[in-house]
Structure 1
Amino acid sequence: MNDATLNPRPAKAIKADKQPGLWARLLKHRTSILFLAPFFLLFLIFTVIPVFTAAGMSLTYYNILEPPRWVGLENYKQLFLDDDIFLKAIGNTLTFAVFTGPLGYCMSFILAWLISNIPQKYRFFFTLCFYTPAITSSVAMSVVWLYLFSGDRYGLVNHWLMKIGALDEPWLWLQDVSTIMPVIILVALWTSMGTGFLAFLAGLTNVSPELYEAGVIDGVRYRWQELWYITLPSVKPQLLFGAVLTIVSSLQVYDISMTLAGFPSTLYAGHTIMTHLYDYAFVRFEMGYAAAIAVVLFLLMVGLNRLIFNILGERD
């Protein structure tokens, strides 16, 4: 008796049963798709469509008063070849991201790890203390820092440094080119304990105690060994989530810069990509050029997020 007698159905029919078509899968999971539909609709309206709209607008000259006029890649050519301020803004933004990104990320995780190891009844107090600067308006926080780094002798930093003899006269912290970006970075780090910090804390507090017990049996003796071999692999999704949030917030900084250093800052020392975009979009109303800046920023974010996914994402 041959195989055709034992299995009279064609091989294609068997394969079709094993791998149903797209429409069959949609019908099978229609309830789940129905629940996800509101999110997909909002994501389409407020994310996907604006991205494609900005990409199309970046190829035009559009000043709001006149209809868009097609200019091709002229905006991008001007952006990278003729706009020295934009190139300086890229350098400032990357400098800001290099310092605030890794430092803020590590600070958030270390503080979350330390808080997760203290008794439960004290965790809320410490979490609130570190999370409060993040939920406070960045402009309001910047006003406090403006008082600290005021360029006269009444600024607290100048007052303290002059009192101990480190300075002979007040230093213009927010007007001097060499200190504008360090002050902006310091303020950003102070307010960096945001959603990523809470995600780390939630992941760390939900690690199963059985994993640590198994680690002790397998030879783990020190807390740093627990952190490296048990804790970090267990909170990998939260690490990825926090990294994405850190990249996005680092590249989108502009409000702290504008409040502290002014607009424009001295010799554009605090000028960022988002500040440049704000300038052309809401001051000069050159929407086509501003859209080109937005597209460059979007591609930069996508590239860095892709890198983070390759490092922290699941291989399977």
Structure 2
Amino acid sequence: MHNAGLQDPETAAPAAVRSVKPQTWGSRKLAEIKASKHSYILLAPYMILFTLFTVLPVVISMILSFTYFNMLEFPRFVGWDNYTRLFLEDDIFLIALKNTLLFAAITGPISYLACFLFAWVINELGPRMRAFMTLIFYAPSISGNVYFIWLMIFSGDRYGIMNGMLIKLGIILEPIQWLKTEAFIMPIIILVQLWLSLGTGFLAFIAGLQTVDKTLYEAGAVDGVRNRWQELWYITLPSMRPQLMFGAVIQLTTSFAVADVSIALAGFPSVNYAAETIVTHLIDFGTTRFEMGFASAIATVLFILMVGTNLIVQKLLRKVGE
């Protein structure tokens, strides 16, 4: 006879399993948050500020892009009119879009590769020399008189450095108005921006190269890595993917958001809008004409361009080392 107060273990186990309810996605997330509550508390100040001063303005700008808003009257919904006007009626925006894409296509990749190349070379130097060379390469990006120097170089009279040198060599007879001639404006701005591009991305690459585990090179030699280029592709670059991503975002954002160089060298507006970019067009409508709805449409287009390009670059960088 079986004891009535005892259950067969084979039937008891399934009953216990059936009594446990599966956790929902919300309950699992809540448990994870409770387990990491200290991390969330430390991140809270940054996330609050980031939401208030970055996420919220972007959302508001996208909403305003569908309105007519002149800073005096309450925004009036106009649907897609701002975007229709932007792409079908605003010829200057199309010039600005072409200039921005050309500028980004040239300065973005070149400055990115130059930042990494210089960082890779400087990283091979001794500690003191490395610190000195890092300062030398980073200094132009924080210099306050950088535009004044280039204005002296490309001054339109014969006392300008470039004109004086070319006249002395007999290449030209009369001074050239470098920053007033449409054909020369964009190449000069690209040159200056490339010179200024060794900034935050350059420092990120230096930091990334410093954190690569040296034992990986020894392990790579055992596994068949024979030269510096193989070390670079299979060990160095995969080890510093976060810095590569960060540098790509910084360089692309800088190349798309160019405005200061254009305004300082070519004026505002430039000759025949030769140096007009999306950001200078945005400044024109946002801070001069106060057409905030139309300016928000320009900002939204620029935001979509930046995000789309960054997603493509990040996808390409994930293949590094494969």
Which stretch shifts more, 30-39 or 124-133? Answer: 30-39
Is 1:204 the counterpart of 2:179 in the alignment?
no
Distance 2:190 2:182 in 1: 14
SS of match in other structure, 2:269: coil
SS of match in other structure, 2:226: coil
Deviations 1:208-262 (A, max 9, x none): 1111112222333322222122211111111111001111111111011001000
Q: 1:75 aligns with which of 74, 82, 92?
A: 82
Distance 1:6 1:19 in 2: 28
Deviations 1:106-144 (A, max 9, x none): 11000000011111121110000000001123xx21111
Which stretch shifts more, 10-19 or 168-177? Answer: 10-19
Structure 1 pair 3–201 and aligned structure 2 pair: CA distance change class (3 A): farther
AA matched with 2:54: T
Deviations 1:248-286 (A, max 9, x none): 111111011001000110110000000000000111111
- Which protein is bigger by CA-based radius of gyration? 2
AA matched with 1:169: E
SS of match in other structure, 1:64: coil
AA matched with 2:164: H
Residue in 2 that maps onto 1:58: 65
Is 1:132 the counterpart of 2:139 in the alignment?
yes
Q: CA deviation at 1:313?
A: 4.0
Q: 1:102 aligns with which of 95, 99, 109?
A: 109
**TM-score normalised over the length of structure 1:** 0.94
Deviations 1:56-98 (A, max 9, x none): 1111111112222221111111000000000110000011111
Distance 1:45 1:219 in 2: 51
Which stretch shifts more, 249-258 or 162-171? Answer: 162-171
SS of match in other structure, 1:16: coil
RMSD after superposition: 2.0
Q: CA deviation at 1:169?
A: 1.7
AA matched with 1:71: V
Residue in 2 that maps onto 1:295: 300
Distance 1:58 1:216 in 2: 57
Residue in 2 that maps onto 1:280: 285
Q: Number of residues paired by the alignment?
A: 313
Where structure 2 has 5 or more consecutive residues not aligned to the other structure, the ranges are 1-7
Distance 1:285 1:152 in 2: 37
Distance 2:96 2:198 in 1: 25
* Superposition pairs of residues 13-28 of structure 1, within 5 angstroms: 13=20, 15-16=22-23, 20-28=27-35
Q: CA deviation at 1:309?
A: 2.1
* Superposition pairs of residues 1-316 of structure 1, within 5 angstroms: 4-11=11-18, 13=20, 15-16=22-23, 20-137=27-144, 140-313=145-318
SS of match in other structure, 2:263: helix
**TM-score normalised over the length of structure 2:** 0.92
Structure 1 pair 314–220 and aligned structure 2 pair: CA distance change class (3 A): closer
Deviations 1:132-157 (A, max 9, x none): 001123xx211110110011111101
Distance 1:52 1:314 in 2: 32
Structure 1 pair 66–18 and aligned structure 2 pair: CA distance change class (3 A): closer
Q: CA deviation at 1:19?
A: 9.2
Where structure 1 has 5 or more consecutive residues not aligned to the other structure, the ranges are none
What's the % identity of the aligned pairs? 50
SS of match in other structure, 1:245: helix
Distance 1:86 1:17 in 2: 50
Q: CA deviation at 1:102?
A: 0.6
